[in-house]
Structure formats: structure tokens, C-alpha cells
Amino acid sequence: MENKNQKARDNVVQVQADTINLGLTEETVRNIISIETQKALKEAELVATEVALKRLNEYNETLINKLVKYEMLQAFSDPAIQMLFRKTERTAVCTDREFDYEMLSELLAHRVKKDKDYVVKAAINKSVEIIEDISEEALLGLTLLFAIISLQPESGIVSDGLAVLDSLFGRLIAGNELPSGRTWIDNLEIVQVVKIIPYSSISKFNDHFNKKLDGYFKDGIEVNSEKYNKIINDLKNVGLSENVLIKNEYINNYYKIPVVEKEKIKDLKINTVTATGQITVIKLTEEQIKVLEDIYENYDNKPQNIDEIQKKYQENLDKYVNLKKISTWWDDTMFNMPSIEITPIGRILAQVNAKRLDNRVPSLEN
């Protein structure tokens, strides 16, 4: 065997024979998709070929734009993605709803991102088959259920967090009428994106909301009290200043940790100033997290304070039009109905649709 480390002769240029892969171009992917479209039309043996071709072309254009946007053109070199594309085509040819094309292309894109997650892969494969069987009202209802149950604002500042939620619900509703009656729930149950849980019922919106945003509805610790002075020392002992606490927006003379709930304390990041005057962000240590969790657990939580917080929240609710609309809808439509569980298929459909309507919603990969 030739020695790879041998010296080259003078004036001879050595070139290593590596394969250079430039990847698939947009033109190549368009050609692949065009061929697949012709195959799909031929295999379907449809009479209304012109209608089918129009729908497929609209879907394909939506998909290509998504692949370019997400830099996923190379994904079409994967046979599994081509097979899923064929599935999405079979669904696309049966619908003329633009949001179906959006959903199908988003589902395919997320399938690329979650290639190693078999639960998500299976749920996406099923989702592309049923999206055309879900009414717009039912998809909206599913997305709202998902948002109410699963999504939280990042900010521990009440006014900021409520403003984010209000904006989110506004984008999800997008000017549509909120679902009414039971038909939309029946629709979701039939296609297996939700399960009805017997012998349990849905609680009022505020009962759920207050538990989910627990940190917003606590009082904290009264400033200059014996307890307050102790926690200031506790914070100093682990290298934290009292600036980690914020004023309670609803009651005077109370300070608390700016988190939506206790579980979010571990995600808090602290701004510090370096010797050169630069501001850097550091993560909390385990010791610091423990101290903050102990403080959270030892809030005063006086009944009169909690009542005052609830009262102020209700008074301020008029400022958040969409949040108030969702709260009223939930109590009028959902309260006391049997509990509803969103299945993995439903969760993916809801999250992809929410992300489609509001880019701030976390992606499936998060």
C-alpha cells in the first residue's frame, strides 16, 4: 500500500480525492416535487385533474418556501421525508384550505427536526392524515386548549406576563368567533386528538389560571419585617443582593421573586457588572436556587393579601381584552364539562398551529 505520508515530488501538486457535496438546491427540490406530483396524480386516477393539480401546486409552493426559510432543502435527500411528503400530498389534494397547506408544510418541517423522537415522528405521520378532517373551529378550540393548559409567559412581572398572554390569545383567535357547543369537541375526539376523561370536570378559568401562574397571585414578604431582614442576610450569604426581589404590583410594601411559579426559579438569570463595567448574565448556583426556593415557600400568604391581589387582578382584567374574552369563553363553554386530555397527536397539531400564528410560541424541538 502506498505511504500517504510520502513527500511529493518537486513541482507536483497533490490533491486529495475527497467527494464534495454541495447539497440539494431549490431547483433540484422543485424538480423532485414536480415528479412526485405527477406520480401522485397518476396513482390517484382522478377525474378532476385540473383541480387536483392546482391544489398540489399551491401546497408545493407553500412547502418549498418553508424548506428554504428553515434551510431544510437537504432533507429531501432522505427517503423517509420523501415518503412523508407523498402522504402530505394525498391530504393536500383533498382540501382547498390554505391553512391546511400551511399546517402540512409545518408538520413536515418539524418531522425533519425531530427525526430521532419516535413518539413525535409517529404523531406527525398521523397528523398529516387527519388535518383535513378537523374543522377550523375545532382546530381553534384545540389550539386554545393547548395554550391555556401548556403555555406560560417567561416574565415574572405580572403586567408584562399578562400583556404577553393577551397578545398571544389575540393572535390565536385572529378575529374568529370562539368555539361554541360540543360539535367541535366531538370532531376532535373522533380524530383522536383529545380524550374525554369521565368522572372529572373542568374547573373555572381563574382556578386553573391562578394555579398555573402561581407566582403572580402571591403576596411575598413585607418589607422591613423580621422575616424580610432575615432573607436579605440569606441572600447576601449566597452572593445575591436584595435586587433579586421585585415590588408586588398589587399590594404595597411587599417584595417577591419575579417568577411565574416556583419551578421557574432554577431558570432565573442574574445580571452582574464586571470590573470593566460590562453587564453579563449568569445562571444561579444550586445553593442560590435553594435559598430562593425557601423564600418562595415562606411568603406571608395572608388571606387578606391574596383577596386584595385577586380583586386588583379582576379590576385590571378590562385592560386585557383577549384574556378577558378567553376567561369568559372558558367559564361559559368549558366549565363543568368532563375533563379533556390532549393526545400526543393533538399536542403536535396545536403547537404547530400556535407557532404558525404566533412565532413566540416554543417550537416542538424546545
Which residues touch 168 (CB under 8 Å, ≥6 apart)?
Answer: 147, 151, 358, 360, 361
Query: Is 18 a domain residue?
Result: no
Count the neighbouring beta carbons within 10 Å of the beta carbon of residue 251.
19
pLDDT digits (tens, 9 = 90+) for 218-241: 999 999 999 999 999 999 999 999
Q: What is the pLDDT of residue 137?
A: 97
Domain assignment present for 184: yes
pLDDT at position 48, please?
56
Establish if 148 belongs to a structural domain: yes
Same domain (yes/no): 192, 227: no
Is residue 206 domain-shared with residue 338, that is, in the same domain?
yes
93 plus 149 within the same structural domain: no
Q: For residue 33, is it within any domain? A: yes
Q: Is residue 6 part of a domain?
A: no
In terms of domains, do 207 and 340 share one? yes
CB-based contact 289:265 (threshold 8 Å) = yes
**How does strand 279-283 pair with strand 338-342?**
unpaired
Domain boundary among 133, 154, 169: 133
> Which residues lie across from 222 on neighbouring strands?
254
Instruction: Judge if 277 and 291 occupy the same domain.
Output: yes
How many Cβ atoms sit within 10 Å of the Cβ of residue 148?
19
d(CA 66, CA 230): 55
Residues 181, 156 share a domain: yes
Q: How many domains, the chain? A: 3
Domain that holds residue 41: 26-133
- Examine residue 336 and state whether it is found in any structural domain, yes or no: yes
Residue 115, C-alpha cell as written in the block: 427525526
Residues 225 and 341 in one domain: no
Pair (34, 69) in one structural domain: yes
Q: Are 292 and 196 in contact (CB under 8 A)?
A: no
Read off the pLDDT of residues 14-70 as tens digits, 9 standing for 90 and up. 333 333 334 678 888 888 888 877 777 777 665 557 888 889 899 999 999 988 888
pLDDT reported for residue 16: 36
Residue 35 belongs to some domain of the structure: yes
Provide the Cα torsion 246, 247, 251, 254; round to 10°. 80
For the chain of 366 residues, list the mean pLDDT of each consecutive stretch of 10.
Answer: 40 35 72 80 68 89 89 85 89 91 91 79 93 96 96 94 96 96 96 94 93 95 95 95 94 96 93 74 92 97 96 92 96 94 96 92 72
Q: What is the pLDDT of residue 21?
A: 36
Kindly report the length of the chain: 366
Q: Are residues 169 and 240 in the same domain?
A: no
Do 38 and 94 lie in one domain? The reply is: yes
Same domain, 37 and 115: yes
- One domain, residues 128 and 142: no
> Quick check: is 340 in a domain?
yes
pLDDT for 237 equals 96
The predicted pLDDT at position 125 comes to 92
In degrees and rounded to multiples of 5, residue 46 shows phi and psi of -85, 145
What is the predicted pLDDT for the residue at 22? 44
**What's the pLDDT at 53?**
86
Global pTM reads 0.86
Task: Output the pLDDT for position 12.
Answer: 35
